[in-house]
Amino acid sequence: MKHPIFAANWKLNHGPADADAFLRQFLAYYPRTQDRTVIFFPPALTLHAVHLALKDRTDIKVGVQNIHSEDYGAFTGENSAAIARGAGAKYALIGHSERRHIFGESDEQAGKKLAAAVRAGLTPVLCVGETLAQREAGDTVTVVIRQLRAGLSTAEPAQVAGFIVAYEPVWAIGTGKTATPSDATTVHLAIREELRTLAGERAEAVPILYGGSVNCGNAESLLAAPEVNGLLVGGASLDADSWSGIVRTWATMASPLERRR
Ligand code: PEP
């Protein structure tokens, strides 16, 4: 039975007060459940407030959107995995396309940041995905596998089973265009195959999420694809109604009774 992950990437939105209001509304809609995992990735300055607001809800996790590759030191303005961990984070996004394409982060930096997350005891969520030009050139799988290898290059095979991978085509992020379940399946299968090469049978344990313009209308069809182990959602996770609609997709898919309510 699939145990999907629903990850909300708030990007640069929701300060502590907004987050508090959001969580009050969301928690009222979302009862404690063991059949899926929900993770919030708030901005770094909001992370601790979200951690505190969730103190009674150990079923919901918090992650950091970006970390520096060093743990401490003279790196003004940066956030470290170790400090994020102290503030309540359990997960770290690594190599999100906005980090790669707006801030110029390389594959190599993604590998170093992944190592920093592992040192601090955070679960890395390694994001990979091709641009529109790369897709149109037929290079999707080549690009995704290159990013995957580089991101995991600092990890031991035995560690890989504890990681999460997110396939997020750049052309789908924040654009309203979504990969079809069949497109996502093709890439997820290629990622799984490469994970097997890197980590053997441990690769089966790695959840592979899809992200890119997921919303209440398309979440169900994407989640229905057997290779899609969860969703990483940006824009549609910013509103508590919309986010709870996406998270509750799984209840309605898993239980026909719930679907009729
Ligand atoms: C994201 O930021 O990871 C993302 C998938 O954004 P959106 O859902 O807005 O496309």
**Chain segment 42-73, per-residue pLDDT in tens:** 999 999 999 999 988 989 999 999 999 999 99
**Chain segment 97-152, per-residue pLDDT in tens:** 999 999 999 999 999 999 999 999 999 999 999 999 999 999 999 999 999 999 99
Enter the tokens of residue 252. Answer: 């309605």
Give the total number of structural domains in the chain.
Answer: 1
Question: Whose alpha carbon is nearest atom 8 of ligand 1?
Answer: 234
pLDDT at 255: 60
Given 51, 96, 130, 194, the catalytic residue? 96
The residue among 120, 121, 209, 198 whose CA lies nearest residue 161 is 198
Q: How many CA atoms does the CB half-sphere of 130 hold within 13 Å?
A: 20
For the question of residue 3 being annotated catalytic, the response is: no
Question: Whose alpha carbon is nearest atom 7 of ligand 1?
Answer: 234
Rg (CA), the chain: 17
**Average of per-residue pLDDT values in the chain:** 95
Q: What pTM, to 2 d.p., does this model score?
A: 0.95
Cβ 187 vs Cβ 193: under 8 Å? no
Q: Decide: 128 in ligand 1 pocket, CB within 6 A.
A: no
For the question of residue 168 being annotated catalytic, the response is: yes
pLDDT at 252: 79
Give, as one character, the DSSP assignment of residue 111. H
Given 98, 105, 130, 168, the catalytic residue? 168
| Helix residue spans in the chain (DSSP H) | 16-29, 44-53, 81-86, 97-101, 107-120, 132-136, 140-152, 157-160, 181-199, 219-224, 240-247, 249-254, 256-260
* Whole-angstrom distance, CA of residue 72 vs CA of residue 92: 17
Query: Which one of 233, 242, 246 would you pick to mutate in the ligand 1 pocket, going by the greatest count of ligand atoms within 8 A of its CB?
Result: 233
Q: Decide: 130 in ligand 1 pocket, CB within 6 A.
A: no
* Whole-angstrom distance, CA of residue 222 vs CA of residue 229: 9
The residue segments making up the domain with residue 15 are 5-260
Checking phi first, is residue 131 left (phi over 0); if not, alpha (psi -120 to 50) or beta?
beta
Cβ 88 vs Cβ 55: under 8 Å? no
Task: Report the relative pairing of strands 230-233 and 123-128 from DSSP bridges.
Answer: unpaired
CATH number at residue 243: 3.20.20.70
**Chain segment 168-223, per-residue pLDDT in tens:** 999 999 999 999 999 999 999 999 999 999 999 999 999 999 999 999 999 999 99
Query: Which one of 103, 168, 175 would you pick to mutate in the ligand 1 pocket, going by the greatest count of ligand atoms within 8 A of its CB?
Result: 168
Q: Decide: 9 in ligand 1 pocket, CB within 6 A.
A: yes
Ligand 1 atom showing the smallest separation from residue 173 Cα:
10
Q: Decide: 232 in ligand 1 pocket, CB within 6 A.
A: yes
Query: Which one of 101, 214, 243 would you pick to mutate in the ligand 1 pocket, going by the greatest count of ligand atoms within 8 A of its CB?
Result: 214
Ligand 1 atom showing the smallest separation from residue 172 Cα:
10
Give, as one character, the DSSP assignment of residue 122. P
The label of the residue with tokens 């265009």 reads: 177
pLDDT at 2: 86
- What percent of the chain lies above the pLDDT cut of 90? 93
**CA–CA–CA angle 176, 29, 85 (5° rounding):** 75
**Ligand 1 center from residue 177 Cα (angstroms):** 11
**Ligand 1 center from residue 235 Cα (angstroms):** 6
Q: Decide: 219 in ligand 1 pocket, CB within 6 A.
A: no
